[in-house]
C-alpha cells in the first residue's frame, strides 16, 4: 500500500494529544508525505485546514476508540482505511502507541501494514454512509422516560422473543466487547461476521443473548407506545421511534470499516491486557 497523502484527525479533549499530533505531522512531512489537517488541529498548529479528505490514502486518527467511531463519518463515504493512534485508555481499535510513533511510521511507509476489515450494521431505509454502526445499535428509552420497555425481536421473519426490560443491544463481533459485554453478552472474535443480540436488564428469566448469522435480517419492534424510544448507534447518533416508525430493521452494511494494522495481535491476549487495565 503506497502512502503519499495522509489526513489527520485529532481529538482536542485528550490530554497531551496536541504534542503527539504535532509530532505526527512533522514526522510525515520529513518522510515526504503530504498531510491534510482537520480544522481544530490546523488552528492549533497555525496551518490551513483541509476542505475535505478526498484523495488521501489513509486517515490517521488521534484519540481513543470513541474518536475512531466518530472518524467513520469521514472514512466510510470515502472508503479510507484508518490508523488509530491511541490517546485513550483501552484502545481496542487503535494500532499505534505514541511512544512508538516514528518507528511505526517507518514500518508503515516501508509497506509493512495490512488492512483489516470489520463488519458494520446498517438501519434499512436510512443513509448508508451515516446510519451505520461498528459496535452496536441499541434500542432504548430516551429522555426522562421511565418504566419497562417491551420489545419484539424477529429474525428473518420469525418472532423469536418478546423482551421486557431496559432495552436490547444488537452488536457486531467488534462490539461484543463494548456495551454488549457490560450487559452480559458473549465475547466474540472480531473476525466473525454475526449479530450479537443482548437484552439489557431483562425482567424475564428466559431472556438470553443470541448470536445470529450476518446474512439475517433483524427486526426490533416496540410493543406499546414507541414515542419515548430511540435507536442509538455506537453511542453517538440516534434515530427516534414513534407512531410512524415503531421499529427498525437491522442488516449487515454493504461497506466495511477498514483499519490499518502493523502488528501481529492475538485477540484474546489483547482482550486480557486491555480489560485488566480497565479494572485498575
The total of other beta-carbon atoms located within 10 Å of residue 238's CB is: 13
Q: Is the pLDDT of residue 219 over 80?
A: yes
The residues, ordered by sequence, that sit 6+ positions from 244 with a Cβ below 8 Å of its Cβ are none
Largest CA distance in the chain: 61
The residues, ordered by sequence, that sit 6+ positions from 98 with a Cβ below 8 Å of its Cβ are 16, 20, 23, 85, 86, 87
Q: Tell me the per-residue pLDDT of 183-204, one tens digit each, with 9 for 90 and over.
A: 999 999 988 999 999 999 999 8
pLDDT band for 164, please (50, 70, 90 cuts): very high
Q: Tell me the per-residue pLDDT of 76-87, one tens digit each, with 9 for 90 and over.
A: 999 999 999 999
- At residue 51, the pLDDT reads 86
Strand order across the 167-171 sheet: 210-213, 194-200, 167-171, 136-141, 229-233, 237-240
Region 234-253: what's the mean pLDDT?
96
Helices 17-30 and 101-109: crossing angle in degrees, nearest 10, is: 40
Q: Is the pLDDT of residue 279 over 60?
A: no
pLDDT band for 271, please (50, 70, 90 cuts): confident
Residues that constitute the known binding site: 65-66, 135-136, 166, 177-182
Region 156-173: what's the mean pLDDT?
96
Radius of gyration of the chain measured on its C-alpha atoms: 20
Residue 206's DSSP bridge partners are: none
- Relative to beta strand 194-200, strand 167-171 is antiparallel
Asked if 69 and 82 count as a contact pair (C-beta separation under 8 A), the reply is no
pLDDT band for 260, please (50, 70, 90 cuts): very high
Region 109-127: what's the mean pLDDT?
94
Which amino acids are annotated catalytic?
65
How far is the C-alpha of 68 from the C-alpha of 9, rounded, in Å? 9
Region 40-56: what's the mean pLDDT?
93
Q: Which carries the bigger pLDDT value, residue 223 or residue 147?
A: 223
Lowest mean pLDDT, pick from 37-41, 136-140, 170-174, 260-264 = 260-264
Residues that constitute the known binding site for NAD(+): 65-66, 135-136, 166, 177-182
Q: Is the pLDDT of residue 278 over 60?
A: no
pLDDT band for 280, please (50, 70, 90 cuts): very low
Amino acid at each position: 500500500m503506497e502512502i503519499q497523502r495522509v489526513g489527520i484527525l485529532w481529538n482536542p479533549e485528550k490530554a497531551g494529544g496536541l504534542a503527539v499530533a504535532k509530532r505526527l505531522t512533522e514526522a510525515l512531512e520529513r518522510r515526504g508525505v503530504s498531510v491534510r489537517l482537520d480544522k481544530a488541529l490546523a488552528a492549533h498548529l497555525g496551518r490551513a485546514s483541509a476542505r475535505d479528505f478526498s484523495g488521501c490514502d489513509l486517515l490517521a486518527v488521534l484519540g481513543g476508540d470513541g474518536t475512531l467511531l466518530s472518524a467513520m463519518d469521514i472514512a466510510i463515504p470515502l472508503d479510507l482505511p484508518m490508523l488509530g493512534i491511541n490517546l485513550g485508555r483501552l484502545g481496542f481499535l487503535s494500532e499505534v502507541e505514541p511512544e512508538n510513533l516514528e518507528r511505526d511510521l517507518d514500518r508503515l511507509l516501508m509497506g509493512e501494514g495490512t488492512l483489516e476489515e470489520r463488519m458494520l450494521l446498517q438501519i434499512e431505509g436510512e443513509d448508508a454512509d451515516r446510519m451505520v454502526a461498528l459496535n452496536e445499535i441499541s434500542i432504548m428509552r430516551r429522555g426522562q422516560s421511565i418504566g419497562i420497555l417491551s420489545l419484539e425481536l424477529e429474525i428473518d421473519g420469525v418472532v423469536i422473543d418478546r423482551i421486557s426490560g431496559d432495552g436490547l443491544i444488537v452488536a457486531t463481533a467488534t462490539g461484543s466487547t463494548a456495551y454488549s459485554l457490560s450487559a452480559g453478552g458473549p465475547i466474540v472474535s472480531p473476525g466473525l461476521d454475526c449479530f450479537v443480540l443482548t437484552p439489557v436488564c431483562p425482567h424475564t428469566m428466559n431472556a438470553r443473548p443470541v448470536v445470529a448469522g450476518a446474512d439475517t435480517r433483524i427486526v426490533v419492534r416496540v410493543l406499546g407506545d414507541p414515542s419515548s424510544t430511540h435507536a442509538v448507534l455506537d453511542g453517538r447518533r440516534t434515530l427516534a421511534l414513534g407512531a410512524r416508525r415503531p421499529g427498525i430493521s437491522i442488516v449487515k452494511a454493504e461497506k466495511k470499516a477498514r483499519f490499518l494494522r502493523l502488528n501481529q495481535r492475538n485477540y484474546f491476549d489483547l482482550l486480557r491486557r486491555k480489560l485488566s487495565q480497565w479494572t485498575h
